[in-house]
Each structure stands twice: as C-alpha cells, then as structure tokens.
C-alpha cells in the first residue's frame, strides 16, 4: 500500500492524458487484493495491453487509437505502475498475471488476447502459462518470461560493446542489476528520474527524438516518486521467483507472436520456440527497444496481421 498520498501530476495526470486519446476512458478495479488503474476504448474482441519499465499505460498512445478500430483495447497499469496500487509484495509475474486474470473476470471477459512490452511481456507470458484457457493469442514485444538464461548476463560488457548505443548483438543491461538493489535506487533517483530516462532512451533507442519531451515528462512525473521507484524495482527483485515458476511450466499452447527490436530480435528468435508450440518472430530491426514510439506503423502491421489478418 502507498504510505503517503501521491502528489498531483497536473498536466501529466491520467485525467489530463486521457484527453489525448478520444474515445478512451479511465477506470479502477480492485482485483486479487490490489487496486489497478486501466484505460479502455474501442469495441470488439478484447486486447489487453501491458506496459513495461519505466513507462505506464501511456506508452501505448502511439498505437492505441488504431488498435481500437478493431478491438476493445484495455491498457493496464500493472501492479506497482502509474496510478495502480503499490503493495509491499506480489511482484512475481505469476501473481501479477493473476491480477490481470481477475481483472478480466471483473470485466466479464472469459478470454482475451494479450500484448505485453518489456516487463509487460513477462506478465503476459505468465498469463499465457497460467491461464491458457483465457488466452486467445499472445504478443510479446521485446519481453518474455524470465528464465535461467538471465544468469548468463555479464557483469562486464563485451569489449567495445558498451558505447553510446546498446549493441544489438551484445546488449549490456546494467539496470537489471541496479534495480535489484533495495532502497538505494529511490534515494538516488527520487526527484531526478529524468536523468535516468534521458540516458536510457538515448542508449536503447536508435532515434531517441521519437520519445517526445512531453512523453519523457509524463514518465519523469510518475517515477520521480520514491514509492513508484520502489515498486517498479520490485518487478526485478522478483526474478528469482519468476525463474523458479518458469521451471514448472509446460509450453504455451496458444499462437504466440514475438516482436523484436534490433536489441531483442535474436534473443526472441532463439528463445520463444522453446516455450511455445505455435510461434512466429518478427524483427523490427530499424527500431530500438521503445518500438511503439520509434516505429508505430510497423508495430501495428505486425500486431494486426497476427490478430486479424484481414485487418492487417
């Protein structure tokens, strides 16, 4: 639970941001013991969209309106994100997947397709493993379920690979370790998270100008708060439990699409066939990790072509 009231976000509040997505509305639901914020728009089959670090539901704004032409689009602030509750526990992806399953039940939905980016891809993967009967199709954009492979991540970058831009073949993601540390990150970053954001977008995007100054301000306003940093880092601090859970799962039975940027395409191409029976992997190789902002048209073509070929 949040120990202190969150400060007003002004122009970056959900109430203001929703005005940039005509036809979408803000909602809250208490499910699985946690209060989740979600944004909904459109009609048709349900498509649940889960964001990643360090963003919120707003990361889907470049593609949400087009998706809503064909689907009932539900953009969720996952546990610990944005305006959703930030409890002390429950950040393993199995519990977070249960949050989403209970949200579907709250909405009267028996089945949905899921689109997850980054940490959202981890949660979407867990949803598919644990609730296959409720999963129509699964789309993983630069994010998949944590596995033993995370233990192979280097302490030091490969020689020459740690430069101004992430190396697509030898990525060095130092924040995976930094976010494991408890209490220190929020002490260092509270009120100055924009410095991390600017570095991150410069490092992992091929064209950082595609992340607008307004978007950056939105995420800085959210993650400047210590409780929000603490909760987001808890997604990483639960990786050990996530790996243990992964070792108990079979293969994903539903159709799975992996969408990989230039930093994740090779990894998804190699790893997803081991965990999914029916999988396709598409590369958007002229984009960095934040592909919704860098290459929204390519993302939409991939997503719509997979979900509804006639629409794509």
Q: What residue ranges do the domains of the chain occupy?
A: 14-307
**Is 27 one of the annotated active-site residues of the chain?**
no
Q: In what order do the strands lie in the sheet with 46-50?
A: 25-31, 34-41, 72-77, 46-50, 112-117, 135-141, 252-261, 276-284
CA angle at 139 for the pair 136 and 142, rounded to the nearest 5°? 160
pLDDT, position 40: 98
Q: Specify the pLDDT at position 6.
A: 54
Quick one: pLDDT at residue 73? 98
Task: State how far the Cα of 84 lies from the Cα of 90, in Å rounded to an integer.
Answer: 13
Check if 118 is active-site.
Answer: yes
- Res 66: pLDDT: 98
Q: Which of 37, 117, 262, 289 is catalytic?
A: 289
Q: Residue ranges of the chain with pLDDT lower than 50?
A: 1-5, 311-312
| 286 is annotated as an active-site residue | no
Question: Domain 14-307 falls in which CATH fold?
Answer: Rossmann fold (3.40.50)
Q: Which of 203, 219, 223, 236 is catalytic?
A: 236
pLDDT at 136: 98
Rounded distance, CA 73 to CA 265, Å?
Answer: 26
Catalytic residue among 118, 142, 215, 245: 118
């Amino acid at each position: 639970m949040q120990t202190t009231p969150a400060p007003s976000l002004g122009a970056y509040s959900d109430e203001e941001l929703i005005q940039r997505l005509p036809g979408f509305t803000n909602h809250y639901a208490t499910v699985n013991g946690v209060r989740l914020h979600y944004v909904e728009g459109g009609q048709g089959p349900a498509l649940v969209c889960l964001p990643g670090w360090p963003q919120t539901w707003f990361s889907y704004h470049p593609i949400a309106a087009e998706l809503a032409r064909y689907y009932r689009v539900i953009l969720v602030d996952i546990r610990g994100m944005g305006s959703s509750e930030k409890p002390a526990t429950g950040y393993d992806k199995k519990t977070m997947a249960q949050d989403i399953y209970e949200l579907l039940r709250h909405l009267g939905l028996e089945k949905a397709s899921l689109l997850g980016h980054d940490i959202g891809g981890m949660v979407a993967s867990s949803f598919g493993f644990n609730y296959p009967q409720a999963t129509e199709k699964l789309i993983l954009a630069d994010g998949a379920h944590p596995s033993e492979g995370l233990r192979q991540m280097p302490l030091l970058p490969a020689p020459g690979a740690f430069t101004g831009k992430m190396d697509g073949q030898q990525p060095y993601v130092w924040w995976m370790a930094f976010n494991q540390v408890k209490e220190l990150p929020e002490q260092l970053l509270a009120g100055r998270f924009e410095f991390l954001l600017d570095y991150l977008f410069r490092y992992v995007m091929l064209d950082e100008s595609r992340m607008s100054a307004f978007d950056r301000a939105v995420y800085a306003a959210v993650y400047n708060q210590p409780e929000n940093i603490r909760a987001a880092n808890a997604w990483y601090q639960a990786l050990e439990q996530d790996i243990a859970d992964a070792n108990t799962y079979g293969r994903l039975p539903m159709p799975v699409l992996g969408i990989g940027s230039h930093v994740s395409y090779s990894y998804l191409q190699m790893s997803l066939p081991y965990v999914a029976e029916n999988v396709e992997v598409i590369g958007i190789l002229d984009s960095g990790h934040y592909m919704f902002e860098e290459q929204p048209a390519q993302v939409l073509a991939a997503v719509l072509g997979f979900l509804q070929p006639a629409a794509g």
